[in-house]
């Protein structure tokens, strides 16, 4: 599943091809995504010029001045830039044709992705309006997600810290993999009650979340070509995880076998010695 680093890498890869281009056509091959692709999208988008491609949580926001095309990759989606004449393959459900000889293509085998249109400020869209702060800087360079914020938000909360940081109302974009990785870096057990964290440990966790995501985005830069190649498979990052997916294997820091547990239907991984 694409997590925030993949979405941000996709944004960086696509933005130079999109910003300043004019939309000359829209192809909807299969509108049945998580929500139906609006039927009138071709009329709405034809002739519009693209001002910017931004990101909020895992939503990509294509700002076309009169409105915003909201894109989400769901469980299995990928977006690529291709020459206009490229023939579609199975699962290529949606194309945006551009005046620069290129197209943007959405491939989504499981069809949990989304292509939606919103007139006016996209941040007011029901999907975006109630989201928590960005874990890194937001588009205005603000950093609302800090130790003080996390500490305050966690007061009186009995939910496990891992589920707490994966809650989009608390902070966006911390998926299952990066939650496990960040908690390992911060030395915090995933099952600890959120409200039990001291200010100091909140500070460590905020730093760990930022560092984990930033590192993944930087590594993603080396796979950027996957998003702009005509024949490259749009694979997600293969990374060298510290704990994620390593149940029973030795901790990279101390050698203790990594433990695995289920939390809210998701697998968590932690080192019983390094994480308290």
Question: Helices 176-186 and 199-221: crossing angle, nearest 10°?
Answer: 130
Which residues, 6 or more positions from 151, have their beta carbon under 8 angstroms from its beta carbon? 197, 199, 202
Q: Report which of 68, 70, 71 is spatially closest to residue 121, judged by C-alpha positions.
A: 68
Position 273 contacts Zn ion (CB under 5 A): yes
Q: Which stretch binds Zn ion (CB under 5 A): 1-9, 196-204, 247-255, 260-268?
A: 247-255
Q: Which stretch binds Zn ion (CB under 5 A): 43-51, 132-140, 170-178, 250-258?
A: 250-258
**Residue 258 CB, nearest approach to Zn ion (Å):** 8
CB nearer Zn ion, residue 129 or residue 254: 254
**Residue 275 CB, nearest approach to Zn ion (Å):** 7
- Write the DSSP string, 162-218: HHHHT-TTT-SS--HHHHHHHHHHHT--TTSBGGG--HHHHHHHHHHHHHHHHHHHH
CA distance 201 to 78: 36
Binding residue for Zn ion, selected from 251, 263, 268, 270, defined by CB under 5 A:
251
**Residue 269 CB, nearest approach to Zn ion (Å):** 11
- Which one-letter DSSP state was computed for residue 124? G
Please state the separation of Cα 111 from the chain's center in Å.
Answer: 16
**Residue 204 CB, nearest approach to Zn ion (Å):** 16
Q: Report which of 115, 120, 102, 81 is spatially closest to residue 224, judged by C-alpha positions.
A: 81
Of residues 252 through 271, those in contact with Zn ion by CB under 5 A are: 253-254, 256, 271
Q: Report which of 48, 38, 42 is spatially closest to residue 25, judged by C-alpha positions.
A: 42
CB nearer Zn ion, residue 168 or residue 256: 256
**Residue 256 CB, nearest approach to Zn ion (Å):** 5
Give ∠ CA 157-201-1 in degrees, rounded to 5: 70
CB nearer Zn ion, residue 151 or residue 269: 269
CB nearer Zn ion, residue 91 or residue 252: 252
CB nearer Zn ion, residue 217 or residue 271: 271
Binding residue for Zn ion, selected from 37, 64, 217, 274, defined by CB under 5 A:
274
The residues annotated with a catalytic role in the active site are: 2-3, 58, 266
Residues that bind Zn ion (CB under 5 A): 251, 253-254, 256, 271, 273-274
């Amino acid at each position: 599943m694409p997590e925030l680093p993949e979405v941000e890498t996709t944004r960086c890869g696509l933005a130079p091809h999109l910003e300043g281009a004019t939309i000359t056509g829209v192809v909807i091959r299969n509108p049945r995504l998580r929500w139906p692709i609006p039927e009138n999208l071709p009329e709405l988008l034809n002739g519009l010029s693209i001002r910017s491609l931004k990101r909020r949580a895992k939503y990509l926001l294509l700002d076309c001045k009169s409105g915003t095309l909201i894109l989400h990759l769901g469980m299995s989606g990928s977006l690529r830039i291709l020459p206009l004449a490229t023939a579609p393959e199975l699962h290529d459900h949606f194309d945006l044709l551009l005046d620069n000889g290129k197209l943007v293509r959405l491939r989504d085998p499981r069809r949990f992705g989304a292509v939606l249109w919103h007139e006016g400020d996209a941040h007011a869209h029901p999907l975006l309006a109630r989201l928590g702060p960005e874990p890194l800087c937001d588009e205005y360079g603000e950093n609302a997600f800090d130790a003080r914020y996390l500490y305050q938000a966690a007061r009186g909360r009995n939910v496990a810290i891992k589920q707490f940081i994966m809650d989009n109302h608390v902070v966006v974009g911390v998926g299952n993999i990066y939650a496990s990785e960040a908690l390992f870096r911060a030395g915090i057990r995933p099952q600890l009650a959120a409200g039990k964290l001291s200010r100091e440990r909140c500070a460590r966790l905020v730093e760990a979340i930022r560092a984990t995501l930033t590192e993944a985005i930087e590594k993603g830069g080396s796979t950027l070509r996957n998003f702009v190649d005509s024949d490259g498979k749009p694979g997600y990052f293969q990374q060298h995880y510290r704990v994620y997916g390593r149940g029973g294997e030795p901790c990279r820091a101390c050698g203790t076998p990594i433990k695995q547990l289920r939390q809210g239907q998701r697998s968590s991984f932690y080192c019983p010695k390094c994480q308290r």
